[in-house]
């Protein structure tokens, strides 16, 4: 797996005890873009990682979207893998904070499965300290197809139609012709996305003006951390994709430090 360094742009079944600490929370574990396929070889490794997190002292874990290759919280779209993931989240949220932000391969998860998480959000989550978690798919306004598909799923009538045979054919077409699956099929191996730097700058500066100081996101399937820095030291940081690198990130909200490494190394496995 490639080493993940920063590049700057411009300015188990056994019950475990709750994770507790006598000091303020000093780290947040982040998972972005795992794109787990229920029949893929990465599925077993993904759940091995979750087991390792269960054994760890991590107090907060946030999933930044696109955890599965395609995940729709509607009748007929669940799988053994998505059910297992939700069961893990429900169990772990009794021991630690578990957050989830939808990506462009996730539909109606915050609304349909929100009780599985400590917090969940469709587009972004922010706190009073100016920290934002978002997937990143809303950064580039040119991604029209994903936006239209999300509007279809969000509409109650169309959401109902998607559960019927025509809708399922539409979903299969979207899965074949968008995002990670399409890039991988064309090249034989997953292809990293070209970063739309002007769109990243526009998105970041708009939120910086609203008081956000740190934006953590994924979506662009990089193998390194990409950093856009504002004039006052604010940062938008795009995290490496787990799918390509098996990388986790650990963010320290006190110091602002972001560490990335293979999940086994970061969790001490």
Strand order in the sheet with 235-240: 6-9, 225-229, 235-240, 214-222, 131-134, 124-126
Phi, psi (rounded to 5 degrees) for 192: -70, 145
What parts of the chain have a pLDDT lower than 70?
Answer: 1-26, 146, 149-193
Q: What pLDDT does 39 receive?
A: 81
pLDDT digits (tens, 9 = 90+) for 107-124: 889 989 999 999 999 999
Contact 218, 64 (CB under 8 A): yes
Phi, psi (rounded to 5 degrees) for 68: -110, 160
Residue 113 DSSP label: S
Beta strands 225-229 and 235-240 are: antiparallel
* Nearest residue to 261 (alpha-carbon basis) of 25, 27, 70: 27
Domain range summary for the chain, segments of one domain joined by +: 6-10+24-266
Q: What pLDDT does 20 receive?
A: 43
Q: Rounded distance, CA 226 to CA 51, Å?
A: 29
Topology (CATH) of 6-10+24-266: Purple Acid Phosphatase; chain A, domain 2 (3.60.21)
């Amino acid at each position: 797996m490639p080493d993940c360094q920063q590049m700057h742009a411009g300015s188990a079944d056994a019950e475990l005890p709750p994770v507790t600490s006598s000091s303020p929370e000093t780290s947040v574990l982040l998972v972005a873009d795992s794109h787990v396929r229920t029949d893929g070889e990465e599925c077993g490794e993904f759940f091995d990682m979750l087991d390792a997190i269960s054994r760890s002292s991590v107090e907060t874990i946030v999933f930044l979207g696109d955890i599965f290759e395609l995940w729709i919280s509607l009748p007929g779209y669940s799988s053994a893998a998505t059910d297992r993931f939700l069961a893990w989240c429900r169990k772990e949220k009794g021991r630690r904070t578990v957050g989830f932000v939808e990506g462009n391969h996730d539909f109606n998860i915050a609304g349909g499965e929100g009780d599985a998480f400590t917090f969940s959000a469709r587009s972004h989550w922010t706190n009073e300290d100016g920290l934002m978690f978002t997937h990143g798919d809303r950064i580039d306004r040119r991604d029209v197809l994903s936006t239209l598909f999300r509007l279809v799923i969000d509409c109650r009538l169309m959401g109902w139609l998607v559960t019927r045979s025509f809708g399922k054919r539409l979903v299969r077409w979207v899965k074949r012709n968008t995002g990670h699956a399409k890039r991988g099929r064309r090249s034989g191996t997953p292809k990293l996305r070209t970063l739309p730097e002007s769109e990243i700058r526009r998105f970041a500066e708009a939120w910086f003006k609203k008081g956000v100081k740190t934006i953590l996101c994924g979506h662009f399937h990089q193998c390194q951390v990409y950093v856009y820095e504002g004039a006052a030291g604010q940062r938008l940081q795009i995290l490496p994709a787990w799918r390509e690198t098996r990388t986790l990130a650990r963010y320290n909200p006190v110091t602002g430090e972001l560490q990335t490494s293979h999940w086994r190394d970061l969790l001490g496995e």
